[in-house]
Chain A
């Protein structure tokens, strides 16, 4: 090479720019793509429970809920994304109140009188830094308000890549809930109670190959405060007492999620499994299977099925014969042993900037569906039908 004494400015610029590309200066990092669309979404949901079919006292018409969701998902600055979701719900109907022993100790469900229309409003905001990448951070806050219940929650989640195939996620959240039951004096309910929930979670996602990813995660929730249901009563011996649960509850959950693309079929398989166990003795298995089928013309058809099974809390019984045995009592069907099958079908259609969606789900629960045989009857288990229609607009 011809000798050179000084570098021209152009050559200095080229060589310094090339220096980072020096052959030995390289480590090949991973990358994940993110999408930068802004989106406005609206959903209208209807939820209706089947009328109570068993032996019952009171109105058999159970809950109906009409919900509307509004969402704005947009990019802010070069690296941030903001997601604001508002939900408004109108609820009415009667719900299981307590259970009386009938002839031969067969349970008779007592249902509360049909409530007047109740409203729930919720606002949730999430700000994500570097969305869609393997090193993103999300801060979220939510507030939910009902006449008798206020919940405020804050959370943070962060993910970072361990290597080109593994991404570690960690996070935590805190929720402070205020409970102020209606007609407290009339029904001798608690007046002002509080509940705090702390959650911590971690997950590991692994890119298996070009078409499949798997994620495993653990979560711990610790609840403290008033964890009973102020509206539910329990039949204990000859007395009707207030629902009484321990003042703390610890739950541990394990999650496994799998996504697999079928390129030739233009479809994707979703498999989710979750196992959770808490200090009250409730243990639950959940399995979700979904098939995301893309069809010509911008259509997407998503059939899905879900199985859920739980084992009852130690202090659950439809009614209690003797009060001396324990301090805690609950006849809330949600703490009993039951299993549930549900099937759903969702449809989406993209038309230019618009996306239309609709879906229907049928959920059927029964004591017999549980993995564990039930120790006692759970008369309140429910079946429901849920449907929604949605309209999204995607900005350039």
Chain B
């Protein structure tokens, strides 16, 4: 017992935010310090969830959506402006496939339980999508078409993981890891300097681990469509929608990327998914970050795959 008071101990805190299970693992001697840090980190994640959720009608995103309908310009705060600037870069890097204004399309496909949307519905949603309809002159944002919907889901969770890790560091935690539904941000390696171990599980067989990844610092993010894909008449439709065509992309079941921050890792994995089987793999190879792709048949590839 006395040893517990002298050596750091991993304190685990679970909560639910951004529609997924979250966990903080904080390695520290003082349990009170761990509780304080965990509370700060959880509050930060919940703040970002409230601010950027497209399911809440009191979020900033809801206000931006309302401004699109009203045809008005909105002034956004610095944090949002930075996220919009970052999204602009992703849009350029993905040849227009990463688009935070594709909300109308993703909603259309999400809403279908077991039905493929008609071409007319897709065309109508497509008309309300597209970064080219956005007037973005920091800090002023105007969505030029009524009915446009913003979806920052592709970047906010990863950003929140980095922010939560920073909250823990600010509170005095040096060793730990933040896990927001599979997106990880490392606060710092274990107290004995050994890395945290993250296992990437098979999308459709959670007992099988594809890769064990050592995390010293930075972030690991995974994009996948295993939770939300729909199967209609035996055909699988992923929830990764190409905003240029309005149709789902034939892509991997999941893509994981390791980077210096969870935000960059998340951007890379999302872009890899959006670019699809061939182009995505080539792009990830060229990017130079450690990555792992798992296709619909459960085949793993990429620099992190264990052969």
A35 touches B86 (CB 8 A): no
When distances are taken between beta carbons in the complex, the residues of chain B under 8 Å from A209 are none
- Nearest chain-A residue to B146 (Cβ)? A396
Chain A residues numbered 1-60 whose CB sits less than 8 Å from any CB in chain B: 1-2, 4, 6-8, 10-11, 13-15, 17-18, 20-24, 26-37
A21 touches B82 (CB 8 A): yes
When distances are taken between beta carbons in the complex, the residues of chain B under 8 Å from A17 are 85-86, 88-90
Asked whether A132 is an interface residue with its Cβ less than 8 Å from the other chain, the reply is yes
When distances are taken between beta carbons in the complex, the residues of chain B under 8 Å from A1 are 216-218, 258, 260, 290
Smallest beta-carbon distance B219→chain A, Å: 10
When distances are taken between beta carbons in the complex, the residues of chain B under 8 Å from A24 are 166
A18 touches B288 (CB 8 A): no
Count of interface residues, chain B, beta-carbon cutoff 8 Å = 49
Asked whether A78 is an interface residue with its Cβ less than 8 Å from the other chain, the reply is yes
CA gap between A274 and B166 in the complex, in Å: 48
Chain B residues numbered 251-306 whose CB sits less than 8 Å from any CB in chain A: 258, 260-261, 263-264, 267-268, 283, 286-290, 303
Given contacts A2-B303, A23-B165, A27-B78, are A18 and B216 in contact (CB under 8 A)? no
B264 touches A18 (CB 8 A): yes
Stretch from B15-23, B68-76, B123-131, B233-241 that touches the partner: B68-76
- Nearest chain-A residue to B170 (Cβ)? A24
Residue interface mask A230-270, B partner, CB < 8 A = 1: 00000000000000000000000000000000000000000
When distances are taken between beta carbons in the complex, the residues of chain B under 8 Å from A199 are none
CA gap between A21 and B289 in the complex, in Å: 19
Chain B residues numbered 25-79 whose CB sits less than 8 Å from any CB in chain A: 63, 67, 70-79
CA gap between A29 and B159 in the complex, in Å: 17
Asked whether B142 is an interface residue with its Cβ less than 8 Å from the other chain, the reply is yes
- Nearest chain-B residue to A21 (Cβ)? B82
Smallest beta-carbon distance A5→chain B, Å: 9
Interface of A is mostly: loop
B79 touches A26 (CB 8 A): yes
- Nearest chain-B residue to A135 (Cβ)? B75
A10 touches B283 (CB 8 A): yes
When distances are taken between beta carbons in the complex, the residues of chain A under 8 Å from B162 are 21-23
- Nearest chain-A residue to B162 (Cβ)? A23
When distances are taken between beta carbons in the complex, the residues of chain A under 8 Å from B140 are 34, 78-79
When distances are taken between beta carbons in the complex, the residues of chain A under 8 Å from B108 are none
CA gap between A28 and B81 in the complex, in Å: 11
A36 touches B142 (CB 8 A): yes
Asked whether B83 is an interface residue with its Cβ less than 8 Å from the other chain, the reply is yes
CA gap between A79 and B75 in the complex, in Å: 11
CA gap between A27 and B140 in the complex, in Å: 18
When distances are taken between beta carbons in the complex, the residues of chain B under 8 Å from A7 are 288
A18 touches B267 (CB 8 A): yes
Given contacts A23-B163, A23-B166, are A10 and B86 in contact (CB under 8 A)? no
CA gap between A346 and B202 in the complex, in Å: 67
A33 touches B67 (CB 8 A): yes
- Nearest chain-B residue to A131 (Cβ)? B73
Report how many A-B pairs have Cβ atoms within 8 Å.
110
When distances are taken between beta carbons in the complex, the residues of chain B under 8 Å from A22 are 162, 261
CA gap between A132 and B70 in the complex, in Å: 15
Asked whether A285 is an interface residue with its Cβ less than 8 Å from the other chain, the reply is no
A36 touches B73 (CB 8 A): yes
Given contacts A11-B288, A20-B82, are A78 and B71 in contact (CB under 8 A)? no
Given contacts A21-B82, A132-B75, are A14 and B63 in contact (CB under 8 A)? no
Asked whether B139 is an interface residue with its Cβ less than 8 Å from the other chain, the reply is yes
When distances are taken between beta carbons in the complex, the residues of chain B under 8 Å from A396 are 71
Smallest beta-carbon distance B57→chain A, Å: 13
CA gap between A23 and B92 in the complex, in Å: 23
When distances are taken between beta carbons in the complex, the residues of chain B under 8 Å from A14 are 89-90, 93, 264, 267-268, 287
When distances are taken between beta carbons in the complex, the residues of chain B under 8 Å from A23 are 162-163, 165-166, 261
Partner of B85, one of A20, A31, A33, A79: A20
Asked whether B137 is an interface residue with its Cβ less than 8 Å from the other chain, the reply is yes
When distances are taken between beta carbons in the complex, the residues of chain B under 8 Å from A28 are 77-79
Smallest beta-carbon distance A303→chain B, Å: 27
Asked whether A133 is an interface residue with its Cβ less than 8 Å from the other chain, the reply is yes
Smallest beta-carbon distance A99→chain B, Å: 55
Smallest beta-carbon distance B127→chain A, Å: 16
When distances are taken between beta carbons in the complex, the residues of chain A under 8 Å from B85 are 17, 20
Partner of B75, one of A11, A13, A15, A33: A33
A18 touches B73 (CB 8 A): no
Smallest beta-carbon distance A4→chain B, Å: 6
13 residue pairs A–B, Cβ–Cβ below 8 Å: A1-B217, A1-B258, A4-B289, A8-B286, A14-B93, A14-B268, A15-B264, A21-B82, A23-B261, A27-B78, A31-B139, A36-B71, A36-B73
| 3 closest cross-chain pairs (CB), A and B | A23-B166, A17-B89, A36-B73
- List 19 additional A-B contacts (Cβ < 8 Å) besides A1-B260, A14-B90, A18-B261: A2-B258, A2-B303, A11-B288, A13-B89, A13-B92, A14-B89, A15-B264, A18-B86, A18-B263, A21-B82, A23-B166, A27-B78, A31-B74, A31-B77, A33-B67, A35-B70, A36-B72, A36-B73, A396-B71
Residues on A lying within 8 angstroms of B by beta carbon are 1-2, 4, 6-8, 10-11, 13-15, 17-18, 20-24, 26-37, 78-79, 132-133, 396
